[in-house]
Amino acid sequence: MKNKKIGIIFLVILIIVLIGGYLVIQYVKNKEEKTMVEEYIPEEEITEDQARQTIVSLYFPSKETNELNPEARLIDIKEIINNPYEKLINLLIEGPKNDKNRKIIPDNAKLNKNYLEGDCVVLDFSSEFLNYSKEDENEKTNLINSIVNTLTELTEVNQVKILIDGNENSEFNEIYTRKN
């Protein structure tokens, strides 16, 4: 009789443990399902044109403080995918959209060619690039930093070398890196 009571008690405890374990497992599963991230559904569909655009930062000096300011531009990926360095430099040549900033690359300066050597972009400008204002001692620094800061926004670029009409020039004979 005593063995029967022990067997029944053991069986009841076993059933309680199994049911309890099952309920705990179900609770944990339900909690995980609720915490899973749901798919984001935008209020409006993204058009194909919007999906192909990206934001780039161009650096121009302020008219007031002469310090470089980033200017965000929304451009089509197709325009930048094949030769991003040429596109970004041409945007700098065009000048800022913001009236508080001023153009830094001299008028009529053109980018003859450009290429990437390791993590250094080599830019070959026309001789008009040397027509920057030499009276202002910060002008050359701003010119260099505008180009370097713009191009080093790209992950593969850490340095910039400037050539004039395919040759090294005494005014721009260094390899430039970003300075904060």
Q: Are residues 28 and 4 in the same domain?
A: yes
pTM over the 0.75 mark: no
- Can you give the pLDDT at residue 42? 60
- Reported as a pLDDT band with limits 50, 70 and 90, residue 146 is very high
Q: Are residues 7 and 54 in the same domain?
A: no
- Decide if pLDDT at 158 tops 90: yes
Instruction: Enter the tokens of residue 70.
Output: 């980033």
- Can you give the pLDDT at residue 53? 85
**Given strand 175-177, what is the order of strands in its sheet?**
111-117, 120-125, 159-164, 175-177
Q: Are residues 152 and 112 in the same domain?
A: yes
Q: Which residue has the higher pLDDT, 122 or 46?
A: 122
Q: Are residues 93 and 24 in the same domain?
A: no
Position 62: which residue type?
Answer: S
Q: Are residues 6 and 65 in the same domain?
A: no
Q: Are residues 89 and 29 in the same domain?
A: no
Q: Are residues 120 and 65 in the same domain?
A: yes
What percent of the chain has pLDDT above 90?
A: 56
Q: Are residues 66 and 123 in the same domain?
A: yes
Range of the domain at 17: 1-41
Point out which residues pair with 162 in neighbouring strands: 123
Q: Are residues 30 and 61 in the same domain?
A: no
**Total domains in the fold of the chain:** 2
- Can you give the pLDDT at residue 180? 63
